[in-house]
A and B are shown apart, each in its own frame.
Chain A
Amino acid sequence: MSSEWPLWEIFIRGQHGLNHRHVGSLHAPDAEMAIRHARDVYTRRNEGVSIWAVKSDDIVASAPSEKGPLFDPSNSKVYRHPTFFDIPDEAGHM
């Protein structure tokens, strides 16, 4: 049986109040070691206050070929942006 440790994706919350962000990956035998390794490589210079580790195999990703069907439809929906609407100055700040 292969003894290669599985791959994990590491997410770090940089500061209180911010989202966790993907910072990279690492190999670890289990979740506990993944957190320890993430501490050792990705938070060496006060980069974070919290770590998430997710097995890379468990990540579900959209396919590059789906880019058009998935993301193009929002191009035509400019009314989703507040700048689409002209609010008269007389109405005051909105």
Chain B
Amino acid sequence: MYAQMVKTEAKRVKSREEMTPEEAAFQDRIEAGEKIEPKDWMPEGYRRTLIRQIGQHAHSEIVGQLPEGNWITRAPTLERKAILLAKVQDEAGHGLYLYSAAETLGVSRDALIAKLHDGSMKYSSIFNYPTLTWADIGAVGWLVDGAAIMNQVPLQRTSYGPYSRAMIRICKEESFHQRQGYDILIKMCLKGTPAQKAMAQDALNRFWYPSLMMFGPSDKDSVHSAQSMAWKIKINTNDELRQKFVDQTVPQAEYLGLTVPDPDLTWNEDKGGYDFTEPDWAEFYAVLAGNGPCNRERMAARVAAWEDGAWFREGLMAHARKAAKRGVAAE
């Protein structure tokens, strides 16, 4: 998802007998549905896993602005430009909420950003794909924000209070994101020219499998899930969410008159869901390792924004210090 393959440092979940009294009391609170707050006792593994997960999620929100930002100056109308700008601004806010949640665990935002820039922290694989046409902006809102919603709605119930509250704020804004994307595609597919519809089909063709990858590897290959689920920092398995996403999205594609690029996609009456082709996991691991179509470009843009903004951040701090001094002197 926005946080894919988060390591928990645990090979397997501890049994009750192996837990210290503190760990057992902590697990009881989680199972009773209590929220864990920043100053409460927590296992080190829980704290560190959350920093990685929330940090990765925050980085995804911020890096995720780049593929869409590419189209702000190219949007077809002033109204679409204003809408896209609002959507991209929201994503900056999501990054802020999540960095703030991570900071309650005792890590600074600058330290997290430094780890993103030196490559030791990741962001979602999806943002390493290019947005080549205006239809891609429709597909990103519809599919990428749609997949994010699938994951974030259950995370509103996560055990860590600040993370849960950030998720609640974010979810309120996400449905605007998905709808504005789908609305772009309605215009192109149902009210547009054949060339525009073909452009939308091309966007779906390119974004379908990368969107399915957002949920992370198949459950059988997902080694850290059990501990994260016991801690309620992961609520559903990767395959459960992927299935839900496919079941919800296929009828939406049909409404647009688009074809999902999967010849084996079939409705399975018994399970009440679609059978579908899994994404190419080799591609997924290659993208995570830094070798997707846009990894270098994305990181270069992030690092440049950070470095080019340093004089401004420092200048405002210098001004604030000076003003504070003057204030003290005037008293």
- B161-193 residues with Cβ-Cβ distance < 8 A to A are 165-166, 169
**Distance from B111 Cβ to chain A, minimum over Cβ atoms (Å):** 9
Instruction: With A30-B320, A63-B39 as known contacts, state yes or no: A3 contacts B314, CB within 8 Å.
Output: yes
Instruction: With A61-B39, A64-B39 as known contacts, state yes or no: A30 contacts B310, CB within 8 Å.
Output: no
Across the interface, which residues of B come within 8 angstroms of A41, CB to CB?
92-93, 96
Find out whether the CB atom of B310 lies under 8 angstroms from the CB atom of A3. Answer: yes
Instruction: With A24-B169, A29-B320, A30-B320 as known contacts, state yes or no: A5 contacts B313, CB within 8 Å.
Output: yes
Minimum CB distance partner of B93 in chain A: A41
Across the interface, which residues of A come within 8 angstroms of B110, CB to CB?
2, 4
How would residues 320 to 331 of chain B score, 1 for a CB under 8 Å from any chain A CB and 0 otherwise?
100110000000
Find out whether the CB atom of A24 lies under 8 angstroms from the CB atom of B100. Answer: yes
Q: A35 interface residue, CB < 8 Å from B? A: no
Q: B103 interface residue, CB < 8 Å from A? A: yes
B interface SS class? helix
Contact residue among B97, B165, B313 (Cβ-Cβ distance under 8 Å from A3): B313
**Distance from A75 Cβ to chain B, minimum over Cβ atoms (Å):** 18
Find out whether the CB atom of B310 lies under 8 angstroms from the CB atom of A64. Answer: no
How would residues 30 to 42 of chain A score, 1 for a CB under 8 Å from any chain B CB and 0 otherwise?
1001000000110
Interface core residue of B40, B166, B320 (most chain A CB under 10 Å): B320
Find out whether the CB atom of A44 lies under 8 angstroms from the CB atom of B90. Answer: yes
Q: B248 interface residue, CB < 8 Å from A? A: no
Minimum CB distance partner of B39 in chain A: A64
Q: B316 interface residue, CB < 8 Å from A? A: yes
Q: A27 interface residue, CB < 8 Å from B? A: yes
Give the complex CA separation of A84 and B77 in angstroms: 65
Across the interface, which residues of A come within 8 angstroms of B165, CB to CB?
24
Contact residue among B37, B109, B314 (Cβ-Cβ distance under 8 Å from A27): B109
Find out whether the CB atom of B319 lies under 8 angstroms from the CB atom of A30. Answer: yes
Find out whether the CB atom of A64 lies under 8 angstroms from the CB atom of B37. Answer: yes
Q: A50 interface residue, CB < 8 Å from B? A: no
How would residues 59 to 82 of chain A score, 1 for a CB under 8 Å from any chain B CB and 0 otherwise?
001011000000000000000000
Q: B10 interface residue, CB < 8 Å from A? A: no
Give 12 pairs: A residue, B residue, CB < 8 Å, sorted on A: A2-B110, A3-B310, A5-B313, A5-B316, A5-B317, A7-B103, A23-B169, A29-B313, A29-B319, A30-B316, A44-B86, A63-B39
- The residues of B with any CB-CB pair to A shorter than 8 Å are 37, 39-41, 86, 89-90, 92-93, 96-97, 100, 103, 108-110, 165-166, 169, 310, 313-314, 316-317, 319-320, 323-324
Beyond A5-B316, A24-B166, A64-B37: 10 further Cβ-contacts under 8 Å? A3-B317, A4-B109, A5-B313, A24-B169, A27-B109, A33-B316, A41-B92, A41-B96, A44-B89, A64-B40
Report the 5 A-B pairs with minimum CB-CB distance, sorted nearest first: A29-B316, A30-B320, A29-B320, A3-B314, A41-B93
